[in-house]
Amino acid sequence: MEKGDLKLINKGEEEEMELQGYRLCRWRLALVGFGVLCTGGFLLLLLYWMPEWCVKSTCTRTTARDAEVVLLRSTDEFRRWFLARVQVMLAPGSNPFHSLETQTTSPSSPHSSPFSNPAASPVANGHTPHSSDGSPAQELKSRFSDYQPTQIRYFTLHSTKYYWSHEVQNFQVLIGLEDLQPKCSTIHKEHTTGLTRNQQEYRKLFFGVNDIAVKVPSVFKLLIKEVLNPFYIFQLFSVILWSADEYYYYAVAIVFMSVVSIATSLYTIKKQYIMLHDMVTAHSVVRVSVCRANKDIEEILSTDLVPGDVMVIPNNGTIMPCDAVLVSGTCIVNESMLTGESVPVTKTNLPNSAEGEGDSAYNTEEHKRHTLFCGTNVIQTRFYTDELVKAVVVRTGFSTAKGQLVRSILYPKPTDFKLYRDAYLFLLCLVAVAGIGFIYSIVLSVMHEVPAKTIIIESLDIITITVPPALPAAMTAGIVYAQRRLKQSGIFCISPQRINICGQINLFCFDKTGTLTEDGLDLWGVQRVENSSFHLSEENAYKENLVKSQFVACMATCHSLTKIEGQLSGDPLDLKMFEATGWILEEATEEETSLHNRIMPTVVRPPKQLLPPEPALSSEQDMELYELSSAYEIGIVRQFPFSSALQRMSVVARLLGEKRMDAYMKGAPEVVASLCKNETVPQDFAEVLEDYTKQGFRVIALAHRRLESKLSWHKVPKYQQGSH
């Protein structure tokens, strides 16, 4: 085996690590055991603190493929060490995204190795796959009698499972459906029919149970972790030394302080873990409806969901148990659990473009406007007649957005503050001073022929005086008190050591309106452009002479507002601009939508008092035609929600009775101006914009375009965000 067999996992990601393979060595284990006995357990303690020493002293190097133990080291500035045991599971196939029929191979087949498909990125998402004696695996094996089981090697680290891939000769993580790198059209074409029960159970072996399991450590584990801190070990050493020197009172005081601080700390940490567990598991297990490949609808527990399942979103909403991409219908979602934003957002179905026509690979970040994230609350759905609101599961468990958030809480990155570096440097200086005093005391005592026992006790006593043993107890007491104060404000922390650094904070920076300022915005005024020049600014758009202008039509239609329980809801800026027009928004009810072959558009119309007087109805006119001709309503045919990358949003709308449709856009002034015809942009545009921004105003630009008559109602839904 090559000494340079060093693997790199999670390459290019935040959790990138170097991996080395090791195999347990019996004679080294025996030698270490003998050393532990000779040192009274101190060697075992040292190996606990230094995992790299533990592995290198008990194992021999081998290839990553044959490893029984893996030693990992992060590539960031902290260079932390981790170790993990490699385990083996038996599965009735080698690739979770292949059908079992195509993978039933003999043991000698070259395709019996895991993850033989290079297009499918292997491996696991932090759940417990069934072991070799698991009943689901055995059940699947019995269904495929000609199957020869495949051994799959994996290890677990930070609630994530890494599986060995023969294809790339490395351990990799299986995230979900994105590992196939499917294009948007492929998801619509190949992944909207659902999975059979066999396929679901088979994928469950690799992806595990769809559950974000926050394990609450036992009191014993927490106690060991707390007590084996180097400071407490030094404190124990000091107490033993003082007792030998008959210095009982201070020793008892230190022991009492330490016991109280450890007990209090354990109680607090245990309680924080329990609260985090309860918070994460709330609404995590629900009953969901999924589509089967035979077009049946089956109700299952959310814990059984796997990537590729097609989930039916109920009309009355639900708490999402996974990450899923919407493939039909529209949803109103509250994402405050993930983003902190209390304003509901509209999620539209994933665009289904023809292959080659802007058909990009699906990505949860790039297509977040079409993705329902785990833990978010679906408030409402809008659907097509005879067609359910469906979403394809793309991620489950710890791979979901909620799972990643929980992992960041459970396994926080170390803090690299100057205060910590200075504190450790200060302790090293104290140790150096203690070492000098220790040597000086020994030399002086030997010269004066002091007894050996006295020399040892007095020399070691210098170290306990220089490095204060009461420091851990004092710090723990302060941290516990701080935690109690935080708890009163509903703030919880399972990494108490980070609280100390908060004492050094002297500046907070907030980036959201409503944190330091008042909630919401007020419309200061509007300034229209006609004939390539600015009009004088006006206080509002609620005027009779503006009611049929394209400017007001854009304000009334270019938004993502919706009605929730009869109340308008959406982005505060959209809400304020719409309210300034005085217009009325009407959405089709479920009953109205079910009568048509597509989602009925949202309609906006001005109040009657702003419209010109209606002509009298003659006796020859039909009442319905008369009402239709006199009505002034605009239907919002398609929304392109705001994109931070594009810095704009737009809608396609049509005025009642008109054959051609209109496109309305709003966004950052510079972006909107760059997309307009040069001859329509005022020459002093930049100067006027700069003047407003210097005064502290938030400036939004609006634009309009008349669309070609050949663009039909049916073609609009096929257009994508980047094309508007």
User: Which amino acids are annotated catalytic?
Assistant: 511
- Distance spanning both ends of the chain, measured CA to CA: 57
How far is the C-alpha of 612 from the C-alpha of 522, rounded, in Å? Answer: 29
Neighbours of 111 (CB within 10 A): 15
d(CA 564, CA 447) in angstroms, rounded, equals 89
88 in Cβ contact with 170 (< 8 Å): no
User: CB–CB of 357/320 below 8 Å?
Assistant: no
Contact 128, 89 (CB under 8 A): no
List residues bridging with 70 in a β-sheet.
21, 84
Residue-by-residue DSSP string for 333-358: EE-HHHH---S-EEE-PPP-PPTTSS
Q: What is the biggest distance separating any 2 CA atoms in the chain, rounded to whole angstroms?
A: 131
Tokens of residue 724, six digits: 């508007």
Answer yes or no: are the C-beta atoms of 188 and 350 closer than 8 Å. Answer: yes
Q: Residue type for 633, please? A: E
> Which H or E run includes 161?
strand 160-165
Report the alpha-carbon distance of residue 268 to residue 484 in Å, rounded: 9
**Counting beta carbons within 10 angstroms of the beta carbon of residue 487, is it exposed (0 to 12), middle (13 to 18) or buried (19 or more)?**
middle
Which residues face 165 on adjacent strands? 170
C-alpha–C-alpha distance, residues 721 and 724, integer Å: 6
Collect contacts of 593-598 with beta carbons under 8 A, ≥24 apart. Answer: 593/382, 593/383, 593/384, 593/385, 594/385, 595/385, 596/385, 597/384, 597/385, 598/384, 598/385
Please state the separation of Cα 486 from the chain's center in Å: 25
Distances (CA, A) of 7 to 51, 63, 118, 294: 18, 9, 18, 43
User: From CA 147, how far away is CA 697, in angstroms rounded?
Assistant: 69
Q: DSSP letters along 578-610, please? A: HHHHT-EEE---HHHHHTSSSPPPEEEE--GGG
CA gyration radius, the chain: 33
3-class SS at 218? coil
CA 132, CA 152: separation in Å to the nearest integer?
10
- Tokens 């004092």 identify what position? 474
Is residue 53 exposed (0-12), middle (13-18) or buried (19+ Cβ within 10 Å)?
Answer: middle
